Amino acid sequence: MAYEWIKALHIISVIAWMAGLLYLPRLYVYHAMVEAGSMRAETFKLMERRLLKAIMNPAMTASWVFGLSMLYMNPVLFSEIWMIIKIGCVIAMTAAHMVFGKMRKELEQDKARRNGIYRMWNEVPTILMIIIVIMAVVEPI
């Protein structure tokens, strides 16, 4: 019964994390289009900081804790190729999360205005999410 609860909490935390990963770079796109120092720019800074620190960071941490807890309870999964691919994608998702944090700091300091880069990074979590879900649900390999 504990495994099912941990799995449910893992799914909930992943959904919250993904929501942030999909929304934050979109905020960056809009932020990069407004004048630095404007009231709108300051509003974007506040939204970005709160999203990252109050939702995404705790959700990412919870996703890792619950995911690793399930692996601890079922270590045979480490021998499955699909799980290795899934873990690799989760590590890549975590790296993207860190890149988004760096971008937020640049935008907060009015240093970066790279709209095209933000648009490109907006697609990374989506691609990783598709691979992760297929690996976890279909277990194709």
Q: Round to whole Å and give the CA distance between 138 and 121.
A: 26
- The dihedral formed by the CA atoms of 33, 35, 39 and 42, expressed in degrees to the nearest 10: 70
pTM: 0.89
What's the CA angle centered on 47, arms 122 and 95, to 5 degrees? 40
pLDDT at 104: 94
Does residue 19 form part of some domain? yes
What domain count does the chain have?
A: 1
pLDDT tens per residue, range 48-100: 999 999 999 999 999 999 999 999 999 998 899 999 999 999 999 999 999 99
Does residue 71 form part of some domain? no
The domain of 61 spans: 2-66+76-138
pLDDT tens per residue, range 13-34: 999 999 999 999 999 999 988 8
Does residue 59 form part of some domain? yes
pLDDT at 88: 97
Does residue 58 form part of some domain? yes
